[in-house]
Amino acid sequence: MSTINYYTPEGLQKLKVELQDLKIRGRAKAADDLREARDKGDLSENAEYDAAKDAQGLLELKIAKLEEVLGNARLLDETNLDLSKVLIMSKVKLKNLKNNMVLDYTLVAEEEANLATGKISVKSPIGKGLLGKSVGETAEITVPAGKLQFQVLEISR
């Protein structure tokens, strides 16, 4: 069963560009690698040919997975977001109750996550723990390093 994921226009476009690149450049490179390996002689004992075939198979698997993701992707209309609770595409200001550090995150689909830019996946432990919380509520989240407590200070678009 496939899962429907919601994306920003930028995130959806990035996935489409990646798929197009894999189909055009990735397949061309795989074909060149196969052709080059095939020219090296007996295919029954050609490890380079076997490696090129394996790489081609992995490329096709990645293309199929990306096509499935895009087939189940939905564009999220950010103008209709409910700002009373944390949802996908919510920008959340949090306070870590252990060290009083204030953090800003945007909850996004798994493929758009990038911690360096403050985008966390709704499928991550922190993302899951924040979903449905309102301003003022505390989320106790279990992460590999232990339990964290975050107070939701603000929710915006």
66 versus 80: which is more confidently predicted?
Answer: 66
Q: Is the pLDDT of residue 43 over 70?
A: no
* Predicted structure pTM score: 0.64
Cα angle 91, 93, 96 (rounded to 5 degrees) comes to 140
Bridge partners, 92 (sequence order): 105, 155
131 closest CA partner among 82, 95, 96, 98: 82
Q: Write out the H or E segment, with its range, that includes residue 147.
A: strand 146-156
pLDDT, tens digit (0-9, with 9 covering 90-100), for 94-139: 999 989 999 999 998 888 889 899 999 988 999 999 999 999 999 9
How much is the pLDDT for 25? Answer: 96
CATH number of the 5-75 domain: 1.10.287.180
Q: Is the pLDDT of residue 37 over 90?
A: no
CA 134 to centroid of chain Cα atoms = 25
Q: What average pLDDT does this structure show over 125-154?
A: 91
> For 79-156, which CATH class?
alpha beta
Q: Where are the domains of the chain?
A: 5-75, 79-156
